[in-house]
Structure 1
Amino acid sequence: MAEKQIYRLQGLSCTNCAAKFEKNVRDLDTVEDVELNFAAAKLTVHGHPSLEQLEKAGAFDHIQVYPEKQPQKTIPFYRKKDNQLTAVSLLFVVIGYVFLFQFGDHHGLTLASFASAIVIGGFDLMKTGVQNLFRFRFDMKTLMTIAVIGAVLIGEWAEAAVVVFLFALSEALENASMAKARDSIHSLMEVAPNRATIKKDNQFVEMDVDEVNIGDIMVVKPGEKMAMDGEVVDGHSSVNEAAITGESQAVEKTEGQEVFAGSLNEDGALMVRVTKTSDDSTIARIIHLVEEAQTQKAPAQQLIDRFAKYYTPAILIIALVVIFVPPVLFQASWQEWIYNGLAVLVVGCPCALVISTPVAIVTAIGNAARNGVLIKGGAI
């Protein structure tokens, strides 16, 4: 097996997009195997792909790839480009309705405003939806694209613009929900400091934990957190291990006793011999266990995933039945029933249903871990 590399991902909010991204990475010549943890936004690659290759594999959905140790850029909700485009789309929807009430629904200014809302808010949606349509891939973006194009063809520009805005808004809220859920896990990584004070040749040197070797002597002053797992070789102190063990009361530590990275040294200086690397520390193993727990799907999530696989094509078939049966068999109005069929496509979008269970499980596991409770997984 080739060398294992671990990356963190940003912009990963859709399970379908995650599957497509994983397939794109797997198809790279420099990759032997790949594992993608959607809940933790974590990519494990066996091989030697470049960062540019991975970025290109996720370019279809603007997925950003970072080495695991590299700090990720946190972009505020209001500064994200997609969210800004959604806000501009809403502005044009409002302007369009103002023109509609003043000049009517066929006036040039009205149509131009609604068309601007559709293009600005739905360009990525329509691009992906059309590509999926030609490849016979039916997902929520395909349904929305058909609904928007159909609404425009029958002259319902206002409805098309509103559908685009609502879908863009739902995408923004889903991204925010998943980001908040993942933050509950990433916050565990901040429990232990990234730097440690090491005694070398009777001098105290501060260095990154990745540079500390097993056997080095770490100096921990009162009020500081342990940066590494180790064994006390000198000193006496009370250590708060609540972040690691959940124990609410401080534990007395003397020579020969074990201490954990992330625990708080309360009142006395300690000299600690490092016994584990930063990647093998207790807190690192806890984070690994929590992330692995997120990959175990609860029965409800497994059911929803299976349901969604057949649900989307079923909605498309139902919409076609609604569109064709009344006009063909009962001489009803084509325009009225095309409109009704498009409405079925819009309300039948399963994205909120599919994302609801993973968000709840990821958030619960992460919050529990921060409070000292480890959950093996969502599966029973």
Structure 2
Amino acid sequence: MTGLHTLVVRQDNLGDVLLAGPCVRAVAAGSGRVTLLVGPRGSAAAALLPDVDEVLVWEAPWIDPEPVWPGSDSVLDLVDRLRRRRFDRALILTSFHQSPLPTAVLLRMAGVPWIAAISDDYPGALLDVRHRLDSDVPEAERALDLARRAGFQLPRGDDGRLRLRAELPDPAPFVGPEPYVVVHPGASAAARTASAGWWARTVRSLALRGHRVVVTGGPDESALTRAVAGSAIDLGGRTTFAELAAVLRSAAVTVAPNTGAAHLSAAVGTPVVSLFAPIVPVERWGPYGIRSIVLGDQHAPCRGSRARRCDLAAHPCLDAIDPRDVGGAVEKLLRNSSLEREYPRVWKQGTTGILRSKPPTGSTCQAQFRNEES
């Protein structure tokens, strides 16, 4: 299959595209050329993935969390762009709650002769390979499993971890000398992160423990990082995604919620203290293939809700974390190079600590949450 021109589709956020990286490398090992179709929110990550020959960008209204119908002209233009590239095969990557079938319709219109995807819905003639697997598989492994089902394998010596292209900018102009700890407070959905006040207390706590702190954030997060940073270095809105990757690669540890920065940190090999709200399962979406400690109540009422906004006062699953526990987790990662991932014990107010056990998979959550994530 080495002469194939293969299309891989992943039209989500930055972290989703990074998690597709091992799948893309497997496809590249069995193809002559790889094109990656992403949404605008994930395009900066696509530019950093190895083995991608071309990136196409188009916002899918059945995937984007703030969907807008693009109009028939935009749809037909995409179909024309795809048709002109004469793809031999396509893999459509989606999360468990998304359908690949609208994308498959467009690929069929573009003349793609062979399409594979994971689909719980009956695909009719839209898919040549309809793959199904356990929904609790980590997202990177879910995509890689589809690649294997489609006949692609990682090359010999590839461990399947997240990875970026080797060339990244020099972070020194942004951060000065090492060592330092990165704190990244922002997230694409408010339910995924703690309050600005909590993050400010955590930055102060880390500084009091003797850590040099660098606060990072995206272009629309400069007000948040300014409120959080205090005397720490504030890089909110000052770096490109590639420059952020370089800053994270030189960091000792990253402290972040479930957001693209956590996955970017994993991709550059930096350990993560993950402040993880249980709106999605940590087993699927926690930092992948990197040493990490997960903090946050994984049995909060929002468990599994995919909420974009927390409807509970004071965001208890994250704001109740003692900032001192964050410092302890940072220092544990610095001390213990053999640690893989630790999860919080069953959370009760007033308790702290972490154990080496996965949280149970069942949930008795009765709370109702609005603004479900796409």
Q: TM tier, shorter chain?
A: under 0.3
TM-score by structure 1 length?
0.25
The structure carrying a bigger helix percent of its residues is 1
Specify the structure having the higher radius of gyration (Cα): 1
TM-score by structure 2 length?
0.25
